[in-house]
Structure formats: structure tokens, C-alpha cells
Amino acid sequence: MGFFKDFKDDLNETASEINGSAVSESTEDEGLMVNTLDTADTSDASSDPELAKIAADLAADMEDEQADSSFEEAALNVEETLAKEAEIEEETVDTIDTDADDSEESAGVPASTNEEYSDEIAIITSCLVVTGDLDSDGSIDLLGTVKGNVACKGKLTVSGTIVGDSSAKEIFANSAKIEGNVSATGSIKVGQGTVIVGNIAGTSAVIAGAVKGDIDVHGPVIVDSTAVIVGDIKSKTVQINNGAAIDGRCSQCYADINTDEIFGVFKNK
């Protein structure tokens, strides 16, 4: 503000020269000056063009200074607002990440453990003999001999010998020797050269080997030309290829056909 004070002093001196009198008065204390510019009669100033121009320039400079101050204050307010918004955004992101972690934890175990069975495969080599039951959360490739029950949640592939019951999601026996019942929640495939002494139960079956036991399948059954079956077959549909040997009854009891409705007309005659 030193510039404006000097400017006012110059203006006072100019006004004193024009009017022929002092604009400011000295007080009782030395060095203390009372500025009477604001209370002076402005009629003389307005009558003089030079004085009016000086007053107009002074007012314009004061307006510019106020405008600059207002702009700086507005800029500071904008910076503070942006900083606060950035802090709020960071807090929001942290909250979202925390909620996501909580949702994953509340969902339970990871997706990999939610699978029906593990991808791991246990291998029983051809030179290995196991006495006791086997139970796996994955799949089993059995090339050796197991004297006990075998159960797995995945696929059971048998090329060796099992003396005991077998259960799995899917069972594939190829050149295997099985003495015991065989059950699966899915399909059962008995390859050529396989001998099974026991009952078979599943949702579908393909028989190309020898089976001594009943076959109970709620879906289709295919009996290949190399098959030898001693036992009854219960299924929804059955396909018997030429050359197959079956010593037993075949019943499509799971078919959608109601035999009573077809032959019921002859019951009262």
C-alpha cells in the first residue's frame, strides 16, 4: 500500500497548489498528519480535468488490486476444494477395496476349492499292491492291485485289479479285473478285455467286456459286439450290437412309455 500512500500525498500537494490552501492540518503531536482528502470538497477536483483524471486512475488501480486479491482468494479456494475431493476419492477407493475383500471372505472358500473335485490324479503303478481302502478328492489311475474299496470324487481309470467295491464320478475300466460292485454318478465304460464280477450302477453305460452281475442304469446302455453279460439289465434305452451275448433279462423300466396305458384295454376282457 506504500504506492497508494505516496500517490495520495502527491494528490494532496497538487490540490493545495490549485486551491491555494493546505489540505492537511498538523495535530498537537509532531509528525502526526491527519489526511483530509476523504473529507475535502470534491467540487473543485471535479472542476479540474487533470485532478479528475488522477482520481479516476487511482480508483481504477484500487479496483485492479481488489480484483487480483479476489482472484488469488478464489484460486486458493479451488485448490483447497480439489484437495478435499482427492482425499474423499482416496477414502472411497479404500472403502470399496475393503468391501470387496470382505465380500470375498464372506463368500467362503476360494473358487478353486468350490469345484466338484480336485484336478490332482493319484497313480497306483503296476508294481504296487495296496491292501486297504483308497479315498481321493481327485482322480485315480489304478494300474496295480488294490485289495480294498476304492472311492474318488473324480474319474477312476482301472487297468489293474480291484478286490472290493468301486465308486467315482466316472469309471473307465480297460483290461481290468474287478471283483466287487461298480457305481458311478456319471458314465461307466467297460472296455474290451475287462472282467467284472459284481453289479454295475450309473447314469449311462457302454459294455464291451464281460460282466457277471446286474446292470442298473437310469440312462442309455450300449452293449457292444464283444460284450458278455450274465445278469439283468435295467435301463431307459438299450442298444445291443450283433455278436453280444446276454444271459438275463433286459428291461427298459426307466423309459417314458407307460405300458399300462397301452395294454390296459385287454385287462377287462
Q: Note the pLDDT tens digit of each residue in 20-62.
A: 544 444 444 444 444 444 444 444 444 566 666 666 776 676 6
Q: Give me 205's grid cell.
A: 453305460
Burial of 9 (0-12, 13-18, 19+ CB in 10 A): middle
Amino acid present at 204: S
CA angle 238, 240, 242 (to 5 degrees): 170
What are the residue ranges of helices labelled H in the chain? 2-19, 42-47, 49-106, 259-263
| Residue boundaries of the structural domains of the chain | 2-106, 121-259
For the CA atoms of 206, 209, 215, 217, the dihedral, rounded to the nearest 10 degrees, stands at: -10
In the prediction, which pLDDT does 23 show? Answer: 40
Give the pLDDT of residue 112: 34
Q: Can you read off the three cell numbers belonging to residue 210? A: 464281460
Sign of CA dihedral 235, 239, 244, 245: positive
Low-confidence ranges of the chain (pLDDT < 70): 1-55, 58-59, 61-117, 265-269
